[in-house]
Amino acid sequence: MNNFESAQNPPAHKGGDVLTLKTLNTFAVDVITLPDEDELFWYVAQNVVGRLQFLDCVIYKADEAGTELIQVAALGAKNPHDREILNPLKIPFGQGITGGVAQSKTAVIIDDLLKDQTYIADSEPARSEICVPLVSHGRVVGVIDSEHPEIGAFDAADLEVLTTVAAMTSAKLELLAEVDRSHSQYLALKESHRQLSEEIQNRTALEAEFFNVRKMEAVGQLTGGFAHDFNNLLTVISGNLEFVGLAENEAQRQEYLDEARTAAGRAAKLIQDLLAFSQRMHLRPVRTNLNTMITTICAQNRQRLPGDIQMDLVEDILPVQVDPTAAEIALVNLMINARDAMPHGGTLYIKTENIQHGVADNESLSKNIVPGSYVKLTVSDEGEGIPPEALDQIFDPFFTTKPVGAGTGLGLSMVLGFMQQSGGAVIAKPEVSQGATFELYFPTS
Ligand SMILES: Nc1ncnc2c1ncn2[C@@H]1O[C@H](COP(=O)(O)OP(=O)(O)OP(=O)(O)O)[C@@H](O)[C@H]1O
Ligand SMILES: [Mg+2]
């Protein structure tokens, strides 16, 4: 191998300085628009042979591992097939002149190939050769090679021109790789977006399905429970009515009739509770003074309510807009629950307050009611309280901890349905061992 500066013969590249610069300039501008590697390699080969007047040009691309060169473009006297490589030559790194350039990352000019031991002669042996590496990010990604039938055909100017071409080609290769990377990133992003949308869709479908199952379960529970309770009451009614005919005296007859009447009353309450729960009770809200309602209820239900009732009723209570019958059923339900929770006696507390509920006041309450003016009615007792784990269930229809026949489990469902339908809310506080507290919020009218 010679030092290229010692070349004796005239340069193969004969364009002259100005023409060369112009050519390189055009080259740089054209390269920008080339869409892919294949176009780029052939464009380079065509211009090295064409505009830059080298006799031939062969371009090799390095494989990913950086161990082998593969012919990707070839033009000139020895490569007549134009844009077609019939049988691409493969040269391992380190082998021959091109393989040597790939390994050493250094451009070479060979003045006399016959004197070069690394030269692998082919059918039409050349005499001199120039070969420059394509380097990207410090890695050899290919080589550009040109041969000439005469000795010492290449000089320093040729080397400079070909090195500039190689630099432009490498820069464009980097750009294409970058575009490729961005495109794959875009595709990966698009794919993960597609997967995400699919997952969200699946999840929404699952949630809808789950909701349906829960709904069906609730309906099943509701109708099953209702049918069972209603059937029991009908049996009591019809049984007692049958006994009326068999009664031996008037007193017995009255007793059977009373039993049937009580059962019919309970059946009516069951229907009322159920309707209120399903929010189909026809409420007729009127302006109501809750204090007056409470005192009336207490006076009229003495036998059913706990003996010890303490009331703390606010003096200037604001009127509320509620259906008085439904409000009465709701209150009686709460009071009877309190009575049942205190089998050994205790005090039932009833308190009313005018309150202003603000957005930031009470987080759990804000989930149920909008900010505004309310009458807060608190019913608390000194019974066994509600275990925290049961708190979620007590408002469920037919949830009861009372013995069979003692409770239908619809009382609190009715209270919840009624309060929601009235634009208010009910909140239970589980003060185990200190009794239970129920807070009812009625919007003022
Ligand atoms: N004041 C209270 N103290 C303790 N537990 C209570 C209280 N109020 C309700 N509970 C619990 O909540 C359950 C459900 O109450 P709910 O009023 O809905 O039904 P019930 O009283 O069992 O039957 P009914 O339909 O006759 O009212 C009760 O069985 C009880 O376990
Ligand atoms: Mg009850």
Res 119 pLDDT > 50: yes
pLDDT of residue 8: 40
Question: Does ligand 1 lie within 6 Å of residue 381's CB atom?
Answer: yes
Residue 362 has pLDDT above 60, yes or no: yes
Please count the other Cβ atoms lying within 10 Å of the Cβ belonging to residue 155: 21
Determine if ligand 1 sits within 6 Å of the CB of residue 411: yes
Please report which confidence band the pLDDT of residue 124 belongs to, taking 50, 70 and 90 as the band edges. low
Element (H, E) at 68: strand 68-76
Amino acid 85 reads I
Residue 217, pLDDT above cutoff 80: no
Q: CB of 386 closer than 6 A to ligand 1?
A: yes
Ligand nearest to the CA of 438: 1
Return the H-helix or E-strand segment holding 426: strand 425-429
pLDDT per residue as tens digits for the range 45-99: 998 988 888 989 999 999 999 999 999 999 987 676 678 887 889 999 999 999 9
Determine the pLDDT at residue 407: 77
CA nearest to 12, candidates 55, 59, 45, 57: 55
Distance 239 CA to ligand 2 centre (A): 26
Alpha-carbon distance 417 to 444, whole Å? Answer: 18
If you measure from the C-alpha of residue 307 to the centroid of ligand 1, how many angstroms do you get, rounded to a whole number? 19
CB of residue 338 inside a 6 A radius of ligand 1: yes
Beta bridge partners of 348: 309
Contact status, residue 349 vs residue 379, Cβ threshold 8 Å: yes
Confidence of residue 118 (pLDDT cuts 50, 70, 90): confident
| Structure confidence at residue 12 (pLDDT) | 42
Does residue 25 carry a pLDDT above 60?
yes
pLDDT band of residue 219 (cuts 50, 70, 90) is low
How far, in Å, from the CA of 411 to the mean position of ligand 2?
4
> Which residue's entry shows tokens 């473009």?
73
The confidence score (pLDDT) of residue 126 equals: 86
Nearest CA to ligand 1 atom 1: 338
Asked if 140 and 133 touch (Cβ cutoff 8 Å), the reply is yes
Give 423's contacts (C-beta < 8 A, 6+ positions apart): 369, 443
Give the range among 76-80, 133-137, 157-161 with minimum mean pLDDT: 76-80
Q: How confident is the model at residue 277 (pLDDT cuts 50, 70, 90)?
A: low
Average pLDDT value for residue range 119-126 = 72
Distances (CA, A) of 199 to 202, 214, 331: 5, 22, 47
Locate the domains of the chain by residue range.
4-184, 276-443
pLDDT tens readout for residues 328-338: 989 999 999 99
Give 338 or 24, the one with higher predicted confidence. Answer: 338
Check if the beta carbon of residue 244 is closer than 8 Å to that of residue 288. Answer: no
Would you put residue 428 in left (φ > 0), alpha (ψ -120 to 50) or beta?
A: beta
105 pocket-lining for ligand 1 (C-beta < 6 Å): no
Is the sign of the CA dihedral 86, 163, 122, 15 positive or negative? positive
Task: Provide the pLDDT for residue 216.
Answer: 67
Q: What is the pLDDT of residue 3?
A: 34
pLDDT on residue 77: 73
In the chain, the percentage of residues whose pLDDT exceeds 70 is 90
Residue nearest to atom 9 of ligand 1 (CA): 337
Residue 36: its pLDDT value, please?
92
Quote the pLDDT of residue 280. Answer: 57
Is it the case that residue 6 has pLDDT exceeding 50? no
Tell me what pLDDT residue 2 has: 37
Q: Which ligand is closest to the CA of 348, given by its number?
A: 1
Q: Out of 400, 414, 419, 432, give the residue to mutate to test ligand 1, the one with the largest number of ligand atoms within 8 Å of its CB.
A: 400
Q: For residue 15, is pLDDT > 60?
A: no
Distance CA 105, CA 64 (A): 16
Give yes or no for residue 380 CB within 6 A of ligand 1. Answer: no
Mean pLDDT of 235-258: 91
Strands 308-313 and 347-357: parallel
Q: Ligand 2 center to residue 240 CA distance, Å?
A: 25
Q: How confident is the model at residue 215 (pLDDT cuts 50, 70, 90)?
A: low
- Kindly identify the ligand whose nearest atom is closest to the C-alpha of 226: 1
Residue 14 has pLDDT above 70, yes or no: no
Mean of pLDDT values over 431-440 = 87
Q: Calculate the average pLDDT of the chain.
A: 86
Please give the distance, rounded to the nearest whole angstrom, from the Cα atom of residue 401 to the centre of ligand 2.
Answer: 10
CA 259/CA 243 separation, integer angstroms: 11
Q: How far is CA 160 from CA 5, 301, 308, 442, in A?
A: 11, 111, 110, 92
Domains 4-184 and 276-443 share a fold: no
Here the tokens at position 389 are 């784990």
Report the Cα 127 to chain-centroid distance in Å.
Answer: 68
Rounded to an integer, the average pLDDT of 405-417 is 82
Nearest ligand atom owner, CA of 380: 1
How many other β-carbons are positioned within 10 Å of the β-carbon of residue 250? 8
DSSP state of 297: H
410 ligand 1 Cβ < 6 A: yes
Instruction: Please state which CATH number belongs to domain 276-443.
Output: 3.30.565.10
CA of 57 to the centre of ligand 1 (A): 95
Fold of 4-184: Beta-Lactamase (3.30.450)
Residues sharing a CB contact under 8 Å with residue 88, sequence separation 6 or more, in sequence order: 70, 71, 72
Pick 211 or 195 by higher pLDDT.
195
Cα 398 to Cα 409: distance, rounded to the nearest angstrom: 4
**At residue 13, does pLDDT exceed 70?**
no
Does the C-beta of 332 come closer than 6 Å to ligand 1?
no
- Asked if 54 and 67 touch (Cβ cutoff 8 Å), the reply is no
